[in-house]
Structure 1
Amino acid sequence: MHTTICWLSLIFVAFPAVATEAAAGAVFKLATFNTALLPSNVIRQYSARKEALQTALADSSADVVCLQEIWRQQDILDIANTSRSRFPYYHSFNSMGMRGQKVPISNTAPCDVLDFLRAYTQCLNKSCLTAFSQGIAAGVSCAFVSCKLYMQSLGQYCVNCMLQADVGTSNDVTTAIQRQCIYLPTDNYATTHGLLLLSKYPLKKKVAATYHPNDVVPLTRGYISAEIDGLGPVMCTHLTTEGAFPSYFGPPPFTSFEELQTNETQQVLKAYPADREGFPPVLLGDFNHGPKSNILVGEHTVNYQLIIDAGYESPYITKVGTCTLCANNPLGGAAGSMKADRAVDHIYVAKGSNVTNVKRIWDNKLAVNTSGEALPISDHYGVQLSYHYVYEGTSSGRILSSSLLIAVTGIVLHGLI
């Protein structure tokens, strides 16, 4: 009888530990959203939309959210802090730096005065003044084409600041850049890559990686990732596209934005193969690619197909299939640069995964600008789904499926009784 009690004790002591690992059976609600929080007013009503985003996150039903285009460090902190009651855990480049190292706080301006004056007097003023008068995107594009060596010499933090300079209502780009990037050290402009991962659950094994760490580029791209018990690796990214830039000026050996995006896609698939041992990764973000359909214009479809061929699927495409970057969005559609419907925001899961409740989110008009016009939060709409995966591995320490666990427990108890 004493032996029987001991065996029963062992069963009930061990059972909670196994059940904790078997949290893999939980259903996780995952979401991705491009916020379009561009302080330079490329997309209008930045402040009103930021406030609306914070409200939407507080009311969100998601467990994990991947956000893109939050370019300023202060915005990262603001959104993480106001969302803390719903999402107590977050991950970003903000605390890890461009290459996985913490960025030191600096009291110096992002741009060196002499380097900037040299670039401005010897090239920018002569070649790109007209372009800068048309807006920051046009000016920086011209600068990388006509003054590339000077832009490289300025360094990434300076270029980040130039592209993010808040022109306010004056639309005076050159004055804004000089005031905010040379004379006022209000931000060290270590790039956030625009990424923020919010989670209801603890984030482990955090990673932050830059796609092109050795090149000065107008918009730094990369990914952040972490592991969540019962869910596995979750990666959050935003891939390159031509956007508002009129021509390619990225790093060699690539000759187009599509080639640059292909390289980034390949880096993602190498780091997070769908057939990895254990839990398959979940890839979230604005991938700036998507398929063509009878209602969608294809966007860099070759790169979408790369991910599909690698063993992933986009349930939003297969189950919903409507646009996330839409022509009728007043922030980026008919009133902006996008003239056709595209689906470029995805939550990629391994093929055959259990996915339900796939839907488009934050597509209603929430933000109200100073003139009383109701606007959506962003020029993109979000994607959300419910995801469930149970790993039935055989290696030591892996999770037993619920049916197998019940069977084994029943056999042991039967032998004791």
Structure 2
Amino acid sequence: MYLQTVVIVSIVMRLAASWDQGFVGEEEAPEETGRSVVYMSTYNCDLSPSVCPPKNRESYHPTSCTYDNRRQEQIDYMREDEMSDVLCLQGVWYARDLEAILAGTTTNFPYSYSFLHKSKGELNNSLIHHPPCDEEDAKILKIIDKCEFENCHSSALRVKIFKCIEEVCGVRNIMRLMSETCLGCIFQGTKRGNFVECTKSEYAFNPTGLLVLSRYKILQSNNVLFHPNFRDQQKSSEIIQRGYLDLEVNHIGRVICTHLTEKFGDEYVEVANTFRNYKQKNFEEFRQLYNVLRHDQRAIVMGDLNASPSLTKGNIAPQFQENLEILRDLGFEDPVSNSYKHTEVDCSYCCGNLLVQKSVTEVCARSNPSIGYIFDHVMVRGYDIVETQDFLKKNAVQRIFLVDRQGSAMSRHYGFSVPVIVR
């Protein structure tokens, strides 16, 4: 349901968008007239010590790269962002990073929500200062610490660390013995690369790594885990918890920000063997979104879906492409994937990005740097999309967060911003 619309400049869109209810500081709204355009943006910040630039991969353990500079560059970008109206962020794993982002962007984006927020939008102080690993976790970490560091810590594939601990260090069922947040901290790593650091409050964990920033007031909010427990235990079935933020955003409507399961390798490694492989787990998460949204006439789903389309044009590699059809069957448009109709489509997870480890990324290990995936999407149902932005028919979907001021990538991902017409 694309609308062939010519947009002169984004400033005009922003002025139009400011007509309506809920724009920065406004509580009440005049009656809506005409239509306006809002930019819905998604970006995986990838704020994990396990994401190392090439020059550090030999000198650091795979779980101990500092990322403070990348985080600050991202914050500077958000602070100067005059386009995005709602920004769905993924990969904000630690509370201190979440707090830094909020402190640096509150003028531009006065409303926010995450798994660490209370229902009314304030941060939950008991969560943002809570160590990821509790006392029971700490006992296990002390047992495995030396063995893990000497024998397992150098694995480039993060999930293999847990298998190594079980097989080499002799701690069976370790993933089922530890809390969800502790597993998450171990997986993402610490700056010093020592897992005992996960017992400290400075590594307080943000389950799912999701954070929404908005120029418009968030009227209702909820957070949901896709896989909250397994069997009869009140415990997650995942190494990394997956879920979504379900929001009602003033003037826009229902917005879901999510981060779905990725392919960590050919071998499936998880806490519980509920699924046969990562594709099936990713499918189940799409299916849950389908059930949640099937009665909604209007909704927007955005985030790192870890599913890349199969396209006839461009250098985009497919992955879990059939799973995208679940939302398309509900009538969701996928403007990022469809942008190849006007120009050569851009990847969001690209082999040419120096932060992408070619040896552990299947398509990059055997292909040229121009190949990549579209993992990051803004999927829209019940809204018209601005398809082209000028008389040259230039694609209105814009790739964002490309490089910092030194020309370096800020994440393994690039983001996308999609202009949506709100009536």
Relative to the length of structure 2, the TM-score reads: 0.74
The one-letter code matched in structure 2 to 1:186 is: E
**Cα pair 2:397 2:419 within 8 Å, conserved:** no
Q: Are 2:422 and 1:389 equivalent residues in the alignment?
A: yes
Aligned residue among 47, 59, 63 for 1:37: 47
**1:144–1:249 Cα contact (<8 Å) kept:** no
Highest Rg: 1 or 2? 1
Query: What corresponds to 1:248 in structure 2?
Result: 269
* Equivalent pair of 1:132/1:138 in contact (CA under 8 Å): no
Distance of 2:154 and 2:412 partners within structure 1: 24
Residue 220 of structure 2 aligns to a residue whose secondary structure is strand
2:306 paired residue number: 288
Unaligned runs of at least 5 residues, structure 2 = 1-26, 54-64, 230-235, 365-370, 390-395
Instruction: Work out whether residues 115 and 210 of structure 2, in 8 Å CA contact, stay in contact via their aligned partners in 1.
Output: yes
Aligned to 2:376: 345
> What amino acid is aligned across from residue 212 of structure 1 in structure 2?
H
Matched letter for residue 219 of structure 1? I
Which AA in structure 1 matches 2:323? N
Counterpart of 1:407 in structure 2 is: none
Percent sequence identity is 22
The answer to whether the aligner puts 1:212 opposite 2:227 as a matched pair is yes
Q: How far did residue 385 of structure 1 move?
A: 1.6
* 8 Å contact kept, 2:335–2:397: no
Q: Alignment partner for residue 181 of structure 1, among 194, 198, 201?
A: 198
Q: Tell me how far apart the structure 1 counterparts of residues 101 and 219 of structure 2 sit (CA, whole Å).
A: 21
Aligned length: 354
Q: Which has the higher helix share?
A: 1
What does 1:6-17 correspond to in 2, within 5 Å?
Answer: none
Following the alignment from structure 1 to structure 2, what is the Cα–Cα distance between the partners of residues 165 and 298? 29
Relative to 1, partners in 2 of residues 1:23 and 1:212: Cα closer, same or farther, differing over 3 Å? farther
List per-residue Cα deviations over 1:66-98 (Å, max 9, x = no partner): 11101011111111121111111111111249x
Whichever residue aligns with residue 381 of structure 2, its letter is: A
State the shift of 1:113 in Å: 5.0
Q: Residues 184-208 of structure 1, C-alpha deviation per residue, up to 9 Å, x if partnerless?
A: 343443x331111111110111111
1:257-336 residue pairs with structure 2 within 5 A? Answer: 257-273=278-294, 276-277=296-297, 280-294=298-312, 295-320=315-340, 321-332=345-356, 334=358
Report the Cα distance in structure 2 between the residues aligned to 1:159 and 1:69, rounded to whole angstroms: 15
Contact 2:73–2:404 (CA under 8 A) maintained in structure 1: yes
SS in 1 for 2:350: coil
- Map Cα deviations across residues 158-189 of structure 1 (whole Å, 9 max, x no partner): 21222233244xxxx4xx112x124x343443
Of 179, 195, 209, the residue aligned with 1:155 is: 179
1:195 aligns with 2:210: yes
Distance 1:42 1:257, change over 3 A: farther
| Partner Cα separation in structure 2 for residue 323 and residue 26 of structure 1 | 28
Tell me if structure 1 keeps the 8 A contact 2:159–2:187. no
Q: Is the counterpart of residue 76 in structure 1 residue 98 in structure 2?
A: yes
Once the two structures are TM-superposed, the CA of residue 143 in structure 1 deviates from its matched residue by 5.5
Query: Does the C-alpha gap of structure 1 residues 143 and 211 become closer, same or farther in structure 2, counting only changes over 3 Å?
Result: farther
